[in-house]
Structure 1
Amino acid sequence: MAARARVDPPSGGTLKHVESLIPSLGPSEQKVAREVVENPREVSTLSAAELAERTATSAATVIRTCQSMGFKGFHQLRLYLMRDLVAATPPEAVPRMGVGDPRVWLPAVFESAGKELAHASAPVDYENFDLAVDALVGARRLLLAANGGSAPVAQSALIGFLALGWHPEAPVDAAVQQLTAASLTPGDLCLCISSSGANILTLHTAEVAAKAGATVLSITGFTHSKLHRISDIPLVCGDVTQTWPTGTVAANIGQFVLVAALQSAAAHRAGRLEAESAVTSEVIDLLADDDAGESD
């Protein structure tokens, strides 16, 4: 695998970056990357030869893996791991979710969620983000497609786009998603959301949209997933299922934020922020009328 463009993960985001790339690596490289993700503290103290021995690979494979992930070599990866470990909260300091007094563990849950969310942006390609914003601004039609655990993200996105003056289509039924995708034409945009990048229903919609000539924009949790490969503009937002028993819901946190960021940037670029203000004011007026009716 050819070396990627050099990366500079944000503090705390190195493991999310590595994890997002695992599906795109060869079998031997995946063994090295998984060892990094599963044992970062130990890996940060090893030499390339020692890591090669642990993974039954070679020092050359270890170095090649690091370069495939965008690092200059193993030494630079170790520096990033050490940086993140210094800033990290020791695992034993975080109470187990759901066990014991909620006054103890519930605040820790929210603190942990904030840290996971801060790291979830590590794999985002900023050039693709800008391309996505341009695509949203220029799209004649916008189809939002998601199924399973990612479906709530698409429905939330629908509300956000409507408030900003877009008129997206976001059918809940997967068959209707595919039928709608078939009616798209060049100049239209299909936004597909799937944490795994492997949801077969969402993949079919993306394939139909691409065949129709529409631009396919995707949000996934893994680089070079099947959805990532189908997409014209892939965006990867780090999956946050590792430390959460309610994994699907937790994974969506990053997706919600990334979609909101896309909406905000597109609205700013298209001059639609005034539309959001007007819609918000109208909703507030409607709610006020409902309250007045209840008091009569």
Structure 2
Amino acid sequence: MSIVRPDLSVHARVRAAASALGPSEGRVAAVIMERPDDVVDWSAAELAAAAGTSTATVIRACQSLGFRGFQHLRLELARSAPLTPRDSDPVAAGGTFDDAVDALRLAQESVDPERVDAATAALRGAGRVVLVGNGFSGPPLQDLAMRLSSVGRAVEAPVDPLAQQFAVHSLSADDVCLALSYSGANVQTLRACTAASERGATVVLVTSYSRSPLGRLADIVIATGPVGSAHDLDPYLARLGHTVVLHTLHGALAGDARHADVADLRHVVADALSED
């Protein structure tokens, strides 16, 4: 694998390593440099077709260019969106709010309402629901689990990846595995969803990238679209769209809750408040 400086931009990294590639891998690099915006939305097979080569060659080319694979390249391209002067000021609150609004608009335009309805129906009719997500996707799922519990819906949301594996291995065709993954390529989440699918459970995925390993596996995919971010690790803008989708699912299921159950749970909140 080529060694390239990690502080270089994605485009600079590709240019720096491209000269050492063979003809087939070189064509892959050329497409990446010429059509980076398209590559962000493509699968490895689509990039292979555009470069006139195979999927295996695409993966090798990505590794030769200094990335762990195609999914890693695609994420880095999405995160390398050019910054505006407004974005370059870390304390510009107005710019941050504007970015958040843009991210939510992208999610609104990208999400298919029919898939949200399908996911709601699957969750409503499920015998068991197991929530699966790791890394930055974990906290939003824990939030959803508590919110669903507040309207009388029992769900399982193991935090530990191994516990997620244990939970999904006992699912059946009457159950649902709801996964959250920004990239759609998290290895631990993919393993859990694969196990759930093999046992006949319906796999529902909320993600930014529908064309991903998890996107190909899931029965219902709700995609919010890729959001470019200057942040190296945390796709915080993308998580805004994910959170709204999860809230939408919660809102639809909350409508099924009995008033008496919700009223009873309000006492739990009231009892948790200090008198001081």
TM-score by length of 1: 0.64
1:180 is the counterpart of 2:167: yes
2:128/2:171 contact within 8 Å kept: yes
Equivalent residue in structure 2 for 1:274, among 251, 259, 274: 259
SS state at 2:43 partner: helix
Matching of residues 1-296 of structure 1 within 5 Å = 21-23=41-43, 26-27=46-47, 92=84, 94-98=86-90, 102=91, 105-244=92-231, 247-268=234-255, 271-272=256-257, 274=259, 277-278=262-263, 281-288=266-273, 291-292=274-275, 295=276
Q: Which amino acid aligns with 1:141?
A: R
Q: Secondary structure at the match of 2:195?
A: helix
Work out the CA distance in 1 between the residues paired with 2:209 and 2:120: 20
1:200 deviates by 0.5
Q: Deviations over 1:175-198 (max 9, x none)?
A: 110111001111111001111000
| CA apart distance, 1:247 | 3.6
Letter in 2 for 1:96: S
Percent identity over paired residues? 30
Contact 2:99/2:237 (<8 A) preserved = no
C-alpha contact (below 8 Å) 1:240/1:247 kept by paired residues:
no
Q: Distance in 2 between matches of 1:133 and 1:164?
A: 15
- Distance in 2 of aligned mates of 1:182 and 1:95: 45
Tell me, in whole angstroms, the C-alpha distance in 2 between the residues paired with 1:279 and 1:21.
46
Amino acid at match of 2:237: A
Aligned partners of 2:152 and 2:262 also within 8 Å: no
What is the CA-CA distance between 1:201 and the residue it aligns to?
Answer: 0.2
Equivalent residues of 1:20, 1:236 under 8 A apart = no
Name the count of aligned residue pairs.
210
CA 1:145–1:28: 2 relative to 1, 3 Å: closer
| Cα deviations by residue, 1:118-171 (Å, 9 ceiling, x for unpaired) | 212322222221110100110110000001121112111111111121110000
3-state DSSP class of the match of 2:203? Answer: strand
Over the aligned positions, Cα root-mean-square deviation in angstroms equals 2.7
Moved more, 21-30 or 183-192: 21-30
Displacement over 4 Å in runs of 4+: 17-20, 28-31, 243-246
Indicate the SS of the match to 2:111. Answer: coil
Between the aligned partners of 1:158 and 1:30, the Cα distance in structure 2 is 42
TM-score, L = length of structure 2: 0.68
| Cα contact 2:145–2:156 (8 A) shared by 1 | yes
Question: Contact 1:145 / 1:171 at 8 angstroms: preserved in 2?
Answer: yes
19 and 217 in structure 1: CA distance in 2 versus 1, 3 angstrom threshold: farther
- Write the letter of the residue equivalent to 1:27: L
Match of 1:77 in 2: none
CA contact (8 A) 1:215 1:232 kept: yes
**Structure richer in helix, relative to its length:** 1
CA deviation map 1:35-79 (0-9, x unaligned) = xxxxxxxxxxxxxxxxxxxxxxxxxxxxxxxxxxxxxxxxxxxxx
Q: Distance in 2 between matches of 1:172 and 1:156?
A: 12
Q: 1:280 to 1:134 in 2, by over 3 A?
A: same
